[in-house]
Amino acid sequence: MASITLTVTNNSGTPDTDVYLGFWGSSLSATINGAAMTAQTWYALSSITSFTIEDTTSGRIYVAYSATTCTIDPNASVLTGNDNIFDKFELTFDGTPTGCADLTAIDFWSIPMSLDTSLQGTSVGSLAGLTGSTTAADVYTSLAALSDPVQSTPAAKAVIAAFAADGNALPAGVAQQLLNPASGVVTDGSGNFVRIIGPNSYPPFGSPSTDAMPGLPATPYDTFLSYYDALIETFGPKTTAPVPGFTSLGGGTIALIKGNFAGNDKETGPIYEAQTYDLTASIDAAGTITLSGSTGQFSSVTITIDRWNLLNPAASYGANPAFSLNGGALQTPGNDVWGWVLGDFFAGLNIGAIGSAVTVQGSGGTIAVGDMASSDWFSTLPGKGLLFAALWPTGITNHWNQWAAALNPCSQAYNFAFAERFSAPQLNLNPASVDTLTVTLLDRTVTSG
């Protein structure tokens, strides 16, 4: 059976006795100090003399800092009432060439760490939790600034008005929470930094027609509302087609979602088979997004996401919307062709490619980014440095994922669910070329107050 050795380099400044490791995931075969590792159990770093992983699927290894015996539950909400310091990295090691590990800062950012692989002592690959001369304080400052301005105010006002219009006016206290959300920066009772909550972690606003109350705590982050409204104004159904400066957009059309789905060989059925896809993304006056077209296995496809589901933080930031397929019941994306198509759309939204008038030189001549097929965004734009603010003129500050934009230049951690479309946030764990995975815990000193 293939195996990989896990080692830890502690450069955090926290003593090994106060650093704990634990596994949370769907499967685990590993040994610590020669004995089988128990999942959902914390092990002090000072007590670990050997750590070998034989098999794990979609697993998370958590790191926690505690001055006492560790009792942290990493599955507890990071939103409220949890001032424990912990973070995680993810790995799949199953003995195949496609095994991989990654750092992640999608849900929250707390403990910067790096990953390195080696074979018989020779370096193979690495992922930097802090790139170049970046410090934890630099990341903290950038991310904290995003959650302090109440960028969610326009969406909060829209939610309050919509609930009232539906005959379900919100209590004053709830309305105030929506309009004045707490910062995403979490500290403990002594004011020490714990984590910064990512925009993806906040609950949905809910739909006035089906929900009694919006989700709380309210997000302090931008909700993409102004981006969606700008798309309606610029390319919506009342505009000309094509809009001047574009060859394909306008009259409701906002993007061309085209490419190839490589398939999911772990499942069977037409939605998991490798196939092409060719869909047009459109937006109506109410803000509903519709993706219509075909794939290699389906001649006619319609995917619909309404405005309230689009405003769900996990939808726009996490590419995980509730959507209707061909008019059916709501569902969420899976590891299939629909999930891949939606990944294209939301990755394009998050990097700011949708609707961008910036032009690039392609094989057929000069083309506006907004006119490009979605798969071409990811193969072309990163190499040209055209991501986030670079795709929009000065004065527009939020037609992209600000959290991802802040992290992208200073960390190789995942900053968005489909970050691999435009960056390289995964580290290969092919046992033929890797025998050791090293986790380096970095200094997390910040100024938090």
| Residue 225, pLDDT above cutoff 60 | yes
| Residue 333, pLDDT above cutoff 70 | yes
pLDDT at site 206: 87
Give pLDDT tens digits for 235-269. 999 999 999 999 999 999 999 999 999 999 989 99
**Of the listed ranges 12-26, 116-130, 266-280, the one predicted with least confidence:** 12-26
The pLDDT-based confidence of 272 (bands split at 50, 70, 90) is: very high
pLDDT at site 435: 97
Distance CA(229)–CA(253), nearest Å, equals 14
The one-letter code for the residue type at 50 is S
pLDDT: is 117 or 95 the higher one?
117
- Structure tokens belonging to residue 187: 């500290």
- Contact (Cβ atoms closer than 8 angstroms) between residue 205 and residue 309: no
> Phi/psi at 125 (nearest 5 deg)?
-160, 170
User: Which residue, 420, 238, 448, is CA-closest to 340?
Assistant: 420
**Of the listed ranges 23-27, 60-64, 312-316, the one predicted with least confidence:** 23-27
**What predicted TM-score, i.e. pTM, was given to this entire model?**
0.95
203, exposed or middle or buried, with CB in 10 Å at 0-12, 13-18, 19+? middle
Helix 153-165 × helix 172-179 angle, to 10°: 150
The Cα angle at residue 351 between residues 346 and 352, in degrees rounded to 5: 95
Q: What is the mean pLDDT of residues 436-449?
A: 88
- Structure tokens belonging to residue 21: 């490791």
Helix 153-165 × helix 225-235 angle, to 10°: 80
| Residue 424, pLDDT above cutoff 50 | yes
> Phi/psi at 255 (nearest 5 deg)?
-170, 160
pLDDT at site 216: 94
| Residue 407, pLDDT above cutoff 80 | yes
Q: What is the mean pLDDT of residues 23-50?
A: 92
For the chain, the maximum distance between any two Cα atoms, rounded to a whole number of angstroms, is 69
Give pLDDT tens digits for 85-98. 999 999 999 899 99
- Residue whose structure tokens are 């061909």: 326
Give pLDDT tens digits for 367-395. 999 999 999 999 999 999 999 999 999 99
| Residue 202, pLDDT above cutoff 60 | yes
User: Which residue, 314, 324, 319, is CA-closest to 335?
Assistant: 319
Query: Strand ranges (DSSP E) for 46-154?
Result: 51-65, 85-93, 100-103, 108-109, 113-119, 122-127
User: Which residue, 437, 440, 441, is CA-closest to 428?
Assistant: 437
Q: How many CB atoms lie within 10 A of CB 247?
A: 11
The pLDDT-based confidence of 150 (bands split at 50, 70, 90) is: confident
Distance CA(89)–CA(288), nearest Å, equals 36
**Of the listed ranges 21-25, 192-196, 260-264, the one predicted with least confidence:** 21-25
pLDDT at site 449: 45
Distance CA(385)–CA(383), nearest Å, equals 6
- Contact (Cβ atoms closer than 8 angstroms) between residue 23 and residue 31: no
The pLDDT-based confidence of 448 (bands split at 50, 70, 90) is: very low
Sign, CA dihedral 250-252-254-255, equals negative
> Phi/psi at 9 (nearest 5 deg)?
-105, 120
CB-based burial, 120-137: b 16+ in 10 Å, e otherwise: eeeebbebbbbeeebbbe
Q: What is the mean pLDDT of residues 350-361?
A: 97
Q: How many CB atoms lie within 10 A of CB 103?
A: 24
Distance CA(115)–CA(426), nearest Å, equals 10
pLDDT at site 36: 92
Q: For the chain, what is the total number of helices (H) and then of strands (E)? A: 9, 23
- Contact (Cβ atoms closer than 8 angstroms) between residue 58 and residue 25: yes
Residues 6+ apart with CB under 8 A from 222: 146, 151, 152, 199, 398, 402
Q: What is the mean pLDDT of residues 305-334?
A: 94
Q: What is the mean pLDDT of residues 285-299?
A: 98
- Contact (Cβ atoms closer than 8 angstroms) between residue 201 and residue 191: no
CA torsion 389-390-396-401 (nearest 10°) is: -30
pLDDT at site 208: 87
Q: Is 46 helix (H, G, I), strand (E, B) or coil?
A: helix
Average pLDDT over the chain, rounded to whole? Answer: 94
The pLDDT-based confidence of 81 (bands split at 50, 70, 90) is: confident
36, exposed or middle or buried, with CB in 10 Å at 0-12, 13-18, 19+? exposed
- Residue whose structure tokens are 């405005």: 307
Give pLDDT tens digits for 119-144. 999 999 999 999 999 999 999 999 99
Domains by residue range for the chain, with CATH: 1-219+406-444 (2.60.110), 225-397 (no CATH)
> Phi/psi at 83 (nearest 5 deg)?
-110, 30
> Which one-letter DSSP state was computed for residue 266?
T
Q: What is the mean pLDDT of residues 104-108?
A: 95
